Structure 1
Amino acid sequence: MRADAKKNYEQLLAVARDVFAEQGANASLRDVARRADVGLGTLYRHFPTREVLLETILRASFNTLAEKAQALEASQAPDEALLSWLQETTAFTHEHRGVIALMMGAIENPDSALHASCVTLRAAGAALLARAQDEGMARPDLNGDELFDLIAALAWLREQPTHALRADRLFDVIASAILVDHGRIPESNGRSGNPR
């Protein structure tokens, strides 16, 4: 990549991170290009679709969440590991407003730029769930796809201003439905945070 193209690429990524943080996943790509001081054609040469741009921005976070699942699996009891990872993943999707809808579509679409990252994330959660199920700590009739759907539902709830205040309580309700130790929710490393 030529030096000027590399500079444009890095500038676009930096600006896109800020714009998506401010406006959510459906932010204007025209606004990204304008604020990066490049033409819209330059943006599309580097990132042909919104999903390609988002995947580039989110890939590191998705990998971190998958690695976190492996670390939790090695360091915590199965129920605690699953609960901690659920909290972190739900908080991540909440912090990236609007990304959950794209993730839900991408996981079912192998042609999506986000597909591989979403599948990796779902597999990480499924592994934690399977471990908890093997130890008799999680209900046996739940699978990784359904766990991913529950995360999406909780993330969506947090994005709705009129419902966000109930999100922590509903997280606890869902956690107690997943775990089978008479509804006991294990101690975790802290809540996923209050809605912003």
Structure 2
Amino acid sequence: MRDEAARPGQRADAHRNRERILEAAAEVVGEDGTQASLRDVARKAGVGLGTLYRHFPTRDALLETLLRTGFDQLTDEAGRLLDADLPRDRALADWLSAFTERAGTFQGLPASLMATLGDPESALHASCLAMREAGGRLLRAAQETGRIRPDVDGTDLFALANALSWIADQAPSIAARRDRLLALLMDGLAHPDAGRA
């Protein structure tokens, strides 16, 4: 009976450990890239390496969860921006800024993890699709105001945003220009007649 009584507390501890590992991993991967030391992740989370491996048996499992969490947060952010009292092109720019900042963290993902993005059965694929659809809704809302060119589609948007993320990941001097490059991207997306009186 004592074991049964302990289970809710054990589950709560396990959940807290998992959340601490994910928070630490986001920081360590953000600083050191996708090949960051899992020992450093465990140390930063304040757990043993065995605890990390119980939750995430492989590096790919940990990275996949981090990516899925990031996709879900970007989906939520798109919804918040759609509901916000902002000009639609500004909402799109704010979302693209968040997207490029997050995407830069995960450059150089292992090929096995990238393959799951194309697998319709994977949870990562579903989260990525939901995030892309949410970004597409922001794009269409901005286009409806006449501020964004009507010939841009979601594929164009994600190709450009991913390219910007990749470029900013290549060198600190380029990363420091990310906001400027994003502004240039938004200039390119702007409807040619948007500024005319």
User: How does the TM-score come out when normalised to structure 1?
Assistant: 0.70
Deviations 1:66-107 (A, max 9, x none): 22212222222222221221122222323x252778886554
Deviations 1:105-150 (A, max 9, x none): 5543335552222212111110011122233322222221221121
For the Cα contact (< 8 Å) 1:82–1:132, is it kept in 2? Answer: yes
Q: Which residue of 2 aligns with 1:52?
A: 61
Change (3 A) 1:113 1:3: same
Q: Which residue of 1 aligns with 2:130?
A: 120
Deviations 1:21-78 (A, max 9, x none): 3312232446545774233xx6444324434313433544433322221222222222
- Which range moves more in the overlay, 70-79 or 96-105? 96-105
Greater per-residue helix proportion? 2
Q: Which residue of 1 aligns with 2:98?
A: 88
Q: Report percent identity of matched pairs.
A: 41
Equivalent residue pairs, number: 181
Structure 1 residues not aligned, in runs of 5+:
185-196
2:166 counterpart letter in structure 1: W
Q: Which residue of 2 aligns with 1:155?
A: 165
Deviation at 1:11?
5.5
CA distance in 2, matches of 1:15, 1:164: 23
- Which range moves more in the overlay, 104-113 or 15-24? 104-113
CA distance in 2, matches of 1:169, 1:183: 20
CA distance in 2, matches of 1:44, 1:99: 22
CA distance in 2, matches of 1:104, 1:152: 14
User: How does the TM-score come out when normalised to structure 2?
Assistant: 0.70
- Which range moves more in the overlay, 46-55 or 127-136? 46-55
Q: Which residue of 2 aligns with 1:70?
A: 79
RMSD between aligned residues = 3.4
Change (3 A) 1:105 1:46: same
Change (3 A) 1:163 1:128: same
CA distance in 2, matches of 1:34, 1:135: 49
Alignment of 1:1-196 (within 5 A): 3=10, 6=14, 9=18, 12-29=21-38, 32=41, 36-39=47-50, 43-74=52-83, 75-94=85-104, 96-98=105-107, 106-161=116-171, 162-182=173-193
Is the radius of gyration larger for structure 1 or structure 2? 2
For the Cα contact (< 8 Å) 2:149–2:192, is it kept in 1? Answer: no
- Which range moves more in the overlay, 170-179 or 96-105? 96-105
- Which range moves more in the overlay, 30-39 or 173-182? 30-39
